């Protein structure tokens, strides 16, 4: 599986992918964890990692270790506010996964871990499943020097608490980022 110019891309390994498994690109697919497919071949709602923004460019999104789809499916009966009974499936997905939301006119819309939506071509490839090494943030550092090995600089000794002006501002999500080159429309005079 070579990238542009014959270069072999280095991607984070999918969690349950073994060396004896072959990554296949066939249609139609039953998405297995660790397999890479074009987004157009995957069913809507598939949890993905290693997403590329342009076909053949290589994975650029959802590559962080621990980017995992924690899923909890619950089938049950509940009462609505009107008193009628309803049945359905509740799906809870953690904030560190990519989800294929829908397909529109040869493009696919993916929700990134930041909850931002991104529109890419259906020919862009993504890996099904989650990225391995999900417990990377639970590693004990042990001493300040190990953080320096990781490139993290120490904080200064002078610290003053800031007021409310410095905190996070609650803003709406930005508009969907599109990586699809749409044809330009010329203005008619």
Residue 17 buriedness (CB in 10 A; 0-12 / 13-18 / 19+)? middle
Least confident of 115-124, 129-138, 168-177: 129-138
pLDDT bin (cut points 50, 70, 90) of residue 163 is confident
Cis peptide before 115 (omega within 30 of 0): no
Query: Can you tell me the mean pLDDT for 138-160?
Result: 89
Q: How many CB atoms sit inside 10 A of residue 35's CB?
A: 20
Return the H-helix or E-strand segment holding 50. Answer: none
Predicted confidence at residue 69, as pLDDT, reads: 42
Least confident of 1-5, 62-66, 118-122, 150-154: 1-5
157 pLDDT above the threshold of 50:
yes
pLDDT bin (cut points 50, 70, 90) of residue 61 is very high
Residue with the larger pLDDT of the pair 14 and 85: 14
Rounded to whole angstroms, the Cα distance separating 162 from 167 reads: 8
C-beta of residue 64 within 8 angstroms of C-beta of residue 133: no
Least confident of 10-24, 25-39, 129-143, 163-177: 10-24
Look at residue 85 and give its three-state secondary structure. strand
Mean per-residue pLDDT over the chain, rounded? 76
Nearest to 101 by CA among 39, 59, 160, 146: 39
74 pLDDT above the threshold of 50:
no
Rounded to whole angstroms, the Cα distance separating 115 from 117 reads: 6
C-beta of residue 46 within 8 angstroms of C-beta of residue 91: no
Predicted confidence at residue 146, as pLDDT, reads: 95
Which fold would CATH assign to domain 32-70+96-133? Answer: SH3 type barrels. (2.30.30)
Q: Where are the chain's structural domains?
A: 32-70+96-133
156 pLDDT above the threshold of 60:
yes
């Amino acid at each position: 599986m070579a990238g542009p110019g014959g270069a072999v891309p280095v991607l984070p390994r999918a969690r349950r992918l073994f060396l004896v498994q072959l990554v296949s690109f066939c249609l139609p697919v039953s998405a297995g964890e660790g397999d890479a497919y074009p987004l157009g071949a995957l069913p809507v709602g598939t949890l993905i990692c290693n997403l590329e923004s342009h076909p053949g460019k290589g994975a650029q999104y959802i590559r962080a270790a621990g980017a995992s789809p924690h899923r909890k499916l619950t089938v049950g009966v509940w009462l609505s506010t009107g008193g009628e009974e309803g049945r359905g499936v509740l799906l809870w997905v953690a904030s560190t996964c990519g989800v294929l939301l829908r397909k529109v006119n040869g493009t696919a819309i993916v929700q990134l871990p930041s909850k931002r939506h991104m529109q890419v071509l259906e020919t862009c490839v993504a890996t099904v499943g989650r990225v391995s090494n999900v417990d990377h943030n639970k590693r004990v550092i042990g001493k300040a020097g190990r953080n320096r090995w990781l490139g993290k600089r120490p904080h200064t000794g002078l610290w003053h608490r800031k007021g409310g002006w410095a905190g996070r501002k609650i803003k709406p999500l930005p508009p969907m980022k599109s990586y699809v080159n749409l044809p330009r429309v010329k203005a008619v005079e």
